[in-house]
Chains A and B, each alone.
Chain A
Amino acid sequence: MTELIRVEDLRVVAGDERGEVEIVKGVSFSLKKGEVLALIGESGSGKTTIALALLGYARRGCRLSGGVVQVGEHDMLALSEQQLQGLRGNRVSYIAQSAAAAFNPAKRLIDQVVEGALIHGLGARAELQAKAIGLFRDLALPGPERIGQRYPHQVSGGQLQRVMAAMALISDPLLVVLDEPTTALDVTTQIDVLRAFKRVVRERGTTAVYVSHDLAVVAQMADQIVVLNGGQILEQSATAPLLKKPSHEYTRSLLAAARPDTTIRPPCGIAEDVPLLTISGLTAGYGNKNMQGMPSIRVLEDIDLTVRRGQAIGVIGESGSGKSTLARVVAGLLTPALGGLTFDGQPLGGSLSERTPEQFRRIQMVFQNADTALNPMHSVATILSRPLKMYFGLKGAALQTRIDELLDLVRLPRAMAERRPNELSGGQKQRVNLARALAAKPDLILCDEVTSALDTVVGAAILELLRDLRQQLGVSYLFISHDISTVRALCDDIVVMYSGHKVQAGSRQSFAEPPFHPYTDLLIHSVPELRQGWLETCGTACDALPTVGERANVPELCTFLNRCPVRIDGLCNRTAPSRRTLDNGGEILCHHDSAQLLNTQQGVTTMTLGAYA
């Protein structure tokens, strides 16, 4: 018996007051022992529902209505709830997307890791703890003997995700279901977690089902890929042929949307040479202010930035880099501690009460999460009409015409105006969100991760819309994202932030090839590529970092020092880095100059390639 998992004609229905809807429509696949199968598709494609069905579980309101799910010797759909309880966390286990929500904050990690195995009576506590420590070591967790003694909030998100993997693997399950395990992580963290997962899965010969919406991630992990849409299998094949020669139209669109910068380019010649927004020496943060008026937690340090009229500037960085705070300061939601803002020649007040109605109109903000950015009690028409009434005093027919125009502009049917936000899909909500910002006829739109919560295909469509709007209306963007390829698709200039500092700034072209700031280099090389074997050869963070001595007590030391692969003892940990200009016109905050960086960055790539060849 080589087939470990067999799913045949699986059907799942979801029911509400109005009746039942089939959300998984006869899905069949099988998987051999030791293989990894990926379920890929956008939200609503049924990928998580199918993955949960492998555990014999249906979410509330759903019902497994037909088919066969065979895991090893167990027929999951025929078992009683009690028998299933005996299997879950024992023979089949699950790794959820949000590790932070999956752990009990009041218990030590090690106790939670062995808890399931103890309940199932798989061994004595001491024995299981030793096994857990072995797993921690395999998962490349720092200090495997001691990390179990910590509480969930004392380790990072990527580490917690790996601890959850240990929890799932401790019972040596027949099948592990990984449900978007790296989606909530930064790219630089994701790469470590993926490496750890891959090694454990390969070494232990674990059979796994990997649920994801990201083809590039899946390409690294899976042997088989199943492409789903609307609860049906569109395409199913081994990873290599699927990536090279997708047979279905939908798979091709997924491949195209995975890297928007390959298909979408910013329009040329829109930006004028007139500064619209100038940020100079900006320092801001949260918490109580000290005697000098400096906040206790500083999130932004000495930021200089100029947005020209019609220009799109991309700000990238990982979570905690201060990129969203920058948008909040420009929007007036957070008062800066130092530094000033100038908007179209006029000083821009730090707090909302210091701004003029005209400034409010000309700067609009679009938030990441369209679910919470639209008031659920207001209809789309109400949402759009408010800025129109407020800024332009429109009424009656003129108001209606303008609402229709706005809906046309963001390519939504006019009939949507009567709907409430909960009756719209994620992409539609984000379009309404944009339309509301456009209603004010702004000069500058602050986009805070506007595509991050959307599926890749939907996100690519929004990006295209943003690009076209810029071409049509000549509006400027301050576009914030954690994804460099999204930024490259839309923006003329890119700014890289790391823990509140602007570490690199330059034109889009200067980000195409080295030299980069060491952090930018890490960021660019952490974005998964759409080819198998990328994970093994990408060559970031593999090598031990050069050792440096103790940090000197200089406040302005490089913030990237702890993670920098090219740090220099005696220089980086002693003196503050200075801003320098690269040969390609970019500006970085680093001790290295253009030639040195070029040398190391090209060197690293070829060296690692050589090591694996």
Chain B
Amino acid sequence: MNNLIAKSKPVSSALALAKASSGPSWLGLVGGVVCVAWLLVALFGPWLAPHPVGEVVSDNIFEGFSLTHPFGTDYLGRDMLSRVLVGARFTVGLALVAALLASTFGTGCALLSVVSPKWLDEIISRIMDAFISIPSKMLALIMVSAFGSSVTLLICTAVISYIPGSFRVARSVAVNIEALEYVQVARTRGERRLYVACMEILPNMLNPVLTDLGLRFGYIVLLLSGMSFLGLGVQPPDADLGSLVRENIGGLNQGALAIIIPALAIGTLTISVNLLIDYLSSRRSRRTGGH
């Protein structure tokens, strides 16, 4: 018995260690669950919604929690639950598509500029620098005032404003990897540029690029919400989470659920995406011996 206890001692400290190191993965799990939940809401929300989006269902505005209207009602007496379920599709969908496009395009340009001759690298970099100097909100306002608000335009605007940042991050990572010896070996082996970019450099820069993608997603959610808050985003009767906050701003002094819920929704969405991506990249780096 004594022997057992003596033997079990290091195991218990190993357990403690394991517990300490499992902290991030627990957070990652939470992030993952919330992300999946939001994705499901974005996919199936409109069918789950108990009421049509624009229907006025109650005589009371800014109603609190009740069984018939779990999230209360908004400034016109519409069902908040239905509006959040439908609005999530715009926020999640638009931001996801825009973030993926921006990151893919930015990383692609970065890889191209790293493996291409110096003059092409210069041209790409300077064009990106020109774009980076335009404030994203300003660009969005101009785009909307020039072409009118539509879903495609919102995606385009978000993609254009976030490509340069993504390019800069990806390029700085890729330049460092390009100088490493395994890339030099590939080059002296006579590999083509495309192979060097996609097989040697890209797999090793995915960690920072994924983290960057998470950040961009958050920024784009905020940009779109900001646009909607100004009334230039998704147009009524549809509403994304940002417009829900704006239209219910009148309930702020009453602490109405109608404004708290969409605000919370934006918060949980952006935080969970970042938790998930942190977890994914730390797992990747552990698998490859830490970078």
| A interface residues (Cβ-Cβ under 8 A, vs B) | 13, 15-20, 331-333, 352, 355, 357, 360-361, 363-365, 367, 369, 372-378, 386-387, 390, 420-423, 436, 440
Contacts and interface: CB of A to CB of B under 8 A. Distances in A.
B152 interface: no
Given A364-B188, A372-B182, 11 more contacts: A15-B14, A19-B14, A20-B14, A333-B187, A352-B188, A367-B185, A374-B182, A375-B204, A376-B291, A377-B288, A422-B290
B21 interface: yes
Given A15-B17, A20-B10, A420-B288, A390 B191 contact: yes
B181 interface: yes
Interface of B: 10-11, 13-14, 17-18, 21-22, 180-182, 184-185, 187-191, 200, 203-204, 288-291
A20 B188 contact: no
Nearest to A22: B10
B17 A365 contact: no
Contact of A333 (B13, B188, B191): B188
Nearest to B190: A360
A423 to B, nearest CB: 8
Contacts of B203: 375, 377-378
A375 B289 contact: no
Contacts of B22: 17
A139 to B, nearest CB: 36
The 9 closest A-B pairs by CB, nearest first: A422-B289, A360-B190, A377-B203, A19-B14, A373-B181, A367-B181, A375-B182, A331-B188, A376-B288
A422 B288 contact: yes
Contacts of A333: 184, 187-188
10 contacts: A19-B11, A331-B188, A332-B188, A363-B188, A365-B185, A365-B188, A367-B184, A377-B204, A387-B189, A436-B185
Nearest to B19: A17
Contacts of A375: 182, 200, 203-204
Contacts of B18: 17
Main secondary structure of the interface of B (DSSP, over half): helix
Contacts of B290: 422
A490 to B, nearest CB: 21
Chain B CB within 10 A, most for which of A15, A20, A390, A423: A15
A33 B289 CA distance: 43
Nearest to B188: A331
A524 B18 CA distance: 52
Contacts of A436: 185
A436 B22 CA distance: 38
A19 B288 contact: no
Contacts of B180: 372
A15 B14 CA distance: 7
Nearest to B291: A376
Nearest to A371: B181
Contacts of A374: 182
Contacts of A13: 10
Given A373-B181, A390-B189, A422-B288, A16 B17 contact: yes
A372 B289 contact: no
Contact of A360 (B10, B17, B189, B204): B189
A364 B187 CA distance: 11
Nearest to A369: B181
A389 to B, nearest CB: 11
A357 B190 contact: yes
Contacts of B11: 19
Contacts of A363: 188
A196 to B, nearest CB: 34
A286 to B, nearest CB: 13
B149 to A, nearest CB: 43
A378 B288 CA distance: 9
B209 to A, nearest CB: 13
A20 B181 contact: no
Contacts of B289: 376, 420-423
A16 B10 CA distance: 12
Contacts of A373: 181-182, 185
Chain A CB within 10 A, most for which of B17, B21, B185, B200: B185
Contact of A372 (B13, B181, B190): B181
Contacts of A420: 288-289
Contacts of A372: 180-182
A20 B18 CA distance: 10
A360 B188 contact: yes
Contacts of A18: 14
Contacts of B14: 15, 18-20
Nearest to A420: B288
A365 B11 CA distance: 47
Contacts of A369: 181
Contacts of B200: 375
Nearest to A440: B189
Contacts of B204: 375-377
Nearest to A375: B182
Contacts of B13: 15, 20
B1 to A, nearest CB: 22
A364 B181 CA distance: 13
Nearest to B290: A422
Contacts of A376: 204, 288-289, 291
B91 to A, nearest CB: 34
Contacts of B188: 331-333, 352, 360, 363-365
B14 to A, nearest CB: 4
A416 to B, nearest CB: 16
A126 B188 CA distance: 57
A352 B13 CA distance: 55
Nearest to A61: B17
A588 to B, nearest CB: 32
A361 B190 contact: yes
A354 to B, nearest CB: 11
A374 B289 CA distance: 13
A375 B190 CA distance: 16
Nearest to B287: A420
A558 to B, nearest CB: 33
A9 B22 CA distance: 33
Nearest to A390: B189
A420 B204 CA distance: 13
B11 to A, nearest CB: 7
A60 to B, nearest CB: 12
Contacts of B10: 13, 19-20
B23 to A, nearest CB: 12
Chain A CB within 10 A, most for which of B11, B189, B291: B189
A289 to B, nearest CB: 13
Contacts of A364: 188-189
Contacts of B17: 15-17, 19-20
A355 B190 CA distance: 8
Contacts of A422: 288-290
A372 B188 CA distance: 15
B195 to A, nearest CB: 9
Contacts of B288: 376-377, 420, 422
A352 B182 contact: no
Contacts of B182: 372-375
Contacts of A440: 189
Given A372-B182, A376-B289, A17 B189 contact: no
A509 B203 CA distance: 48
